[in-house]
Amino acid sequence: MAAWEENVRRVEPYTPGEQPKQPNMIKLNTNENPYPPAPGVAKALRELETDNLRRYPDPSSKVLVQALADYYGVAKEQVFVGVGSDDVLAMSFLTFFNSGKSILFPDITYSFYDVWADLFRIPYECPPLDEDFKICTEDYLRECGGIVIPNPNAPTGIEKDLKELEQIIAGNPGVIVIIDEAYIDFGGTSALSLLPKYENLLVVQTFSKSRSLAGMRIGYAIGNEKLIRYLNDAKYSFNSYTMSAAALAAGVEAVRDDVYFRETLQKIINTRERTKKELHRLGFSFPDSKSNFIFAAHPKYPAKELFEALKKSNIYVRYFERPRIDNYLRISIGTEQEMDCLLRFLEEYLGESI
């Protein structure tokens, strides 16, 4: 090892889902929205003036912050935006988890949490999900340095009841509780309604899933004004110009078209529920997903075998080679046609008949 390497901050990085570029592929591995963003998004990008591109964007992201504040009925001082919810969550870890005590998040969840904790030298503990892959409320009612609860959880898709979430928030008044709601729009109940009661609550959401803007990288947090001030102080000490002019324009239009947003969500929910019925008929078991994916296992066919067979047929799903979940596939919800192709393949592979 070279002498300079002794002072390198080394972490085990997050492994993102595969991003294949195969022709005629069916991509169901990264929970992207199968439908395009609101029509106004493309129009706003076409009309973006070149003068906006040669100048720095507004560091306060005022137009997007105001659009989100109006949409959710909160003050603009309660909204923080960043480059995807990953950026927002990383900034939140950096800002709020500095007590030296272990923060808490589930053992089976979004695998970026432990990466950020390691990167920022934050101690952490991971209470195990129960045998049904559910978060145990009592595991989070103890002394800690902060809490992160994904709701619905990934990769399971299971939603935690809002009353139980409130127990966790109310039971930890001395630390920040982050509710990561990346998938909340697909049928869950948001914790936003609890914000007036709890100053230690921060709710984080994203445009990547329900608003079809994964490629634009927009995330946001909503909390009390003091929390948001602290986040902005950290942001302006790190990178003032986080949101591009294009992202701001696209984000505002995505928020404005609520009719399109609701219609697209309902299509995905309907397809998810139909796919559940078909997978169940084919012998798969899975938790009741409230997200845009299904976490499925088959009793006779190992998940890795199915994953490889699907991949050979240009159908991409997500496989996690980790304890307790290594016999499950996480299957994103695509269009009706894409899910039909998936189901036909599984039907033939499993030797079943409709």
Q: CA-CA distance, 115 to 14, in Å (whole number)?
A: 6
pLDDT at 202: 98
- Tokens 């991509």 -> residue: 27
Contacts of the segment 124-132: beta carbons below 8 A, 24+ positions apart: 129/153, 129/156, 132/287
Provide the 10 A C-beta neighbour count for residue 287: 20
pLDDT at 353: 39
pLDDT at 95: 97
pTM of the predicted model as reported, rounded to 2 decimal places: 0.95
- Tokens 């009793």 -> residue: 299
CB 181 within 8 A of CB 205: yes
pLDDT at 228: 98
CB 13 within 8 A of CB 115: yes
Mind listing the pLDDT tens digit of every residue in the chain (354 residues)? 888 988 888 888 888 878 888 888 999 999 999 999 999 999 999 999 888 889 999 999 999 999 999 999 999 999 999 999 999 999 999 999 999 999 999 999 999 999 999 999 999 999 999 999 999 999 999 999 999 999 999 999 999 999 999 999 999 999 999 999 999 999 999 999 999 999 999 999 999 999 999 999 999 999 999 999 999 999 999 888 889 999 999 999 999 999 999 999 999 999 999 999 999 999 999 999 999 999 999 999 999 999 999 999 999 999 999 999 999 999 999 999 999 999 999 999 998 534
Q: CA geometry: angle at 102 spanning 99 and 104, to 5°?
A: 120
HEC profile of the chain: CCHHHHHCCCCCCCCCCCCCCCCCCEECCCCCCCCCCCHHHHHHHHCCCHHHHHCCCCCCCHHHHHHHHHHHCCCHHHEEEECHHHHHHHHHHHHHCCCCCCEECCCCCCCCHHHHHHHCCCCEECCCCCCCCCCCHHHHCCCCCEEEEECCCCCCCCCCCHHHHHHHHHCCCCCCEEEECCCHHHCCCCHHHHCCCCCCEEEEEECCCCCCCCCCCCEEEEECHHHHHHHHHHHHHHCCCCCCHHHHHHHHHHHHCHHHHHHHHHHHHHHHHHHHHHHHHCCCECCCCCCCEEEEECCCCCHHHHHHHHHHCCEECEECCCCCCCCCEEEECCCHHHHHHHHHHHHHHHCCCC
Structure tokens at 338: 């894409």
pLDDT at 109: 97
pLDDT at 354: 41
pLDDT at 284: 97
Q: CA-CA distance, 172 to 225, in Å (whole number)?
A: 19
CA atoms lying within 13 Å on the CB side of residue 80: 30
